[in-house]
């Protein structure tokens, strides 16, 4: 489970980002900040997966 946790976080973040695009009516600063935070979470989890593969 601990090994698959970054992948689960990536999937959940992507789903929430897509839902944010679908259900948001106004594209204000809050929308862009939540989208940016989701993108940064995805990038950090990809880097975590990459580092774990290097160490194994």
Q: What is the pLDDT of residues 1-55, one digit of tens each?
A: 677 899 999 999 999 999 988 988 888 998 899 999 999 999 999 999 999 989 8
Determine the structural domain holding residue 37 and report its residue range.
5-55
What does the alpha-carbon distance between residue 37 and residue 3 come to, in Å, rounded to a whole number?
A: 23
Q: How many domains does the chain have?
A: 1
pTM of the model: 0.82
User: pLDDT tens across 26-39, in order?
Assistant: 889 988 999 999 99
What does the alpha-carbon distance between residue 22 and residue 4 come to, in Å, rounded to a whole number?
A: 28
CB 10 within 8 A of CB 42: yes
């Amino acid at each position: 489970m601990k090994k698959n946790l970054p992948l689960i976080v990536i999937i959940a973040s992507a789903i929430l980002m897509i839902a944010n695009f679908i259900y948001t009516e106004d594209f204000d600063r809050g929308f862009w900040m939540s989208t940016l935070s989701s993108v940064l979470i995805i990038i950090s989890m990809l880097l975590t997966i990459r580092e774990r593969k290097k160490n194994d």
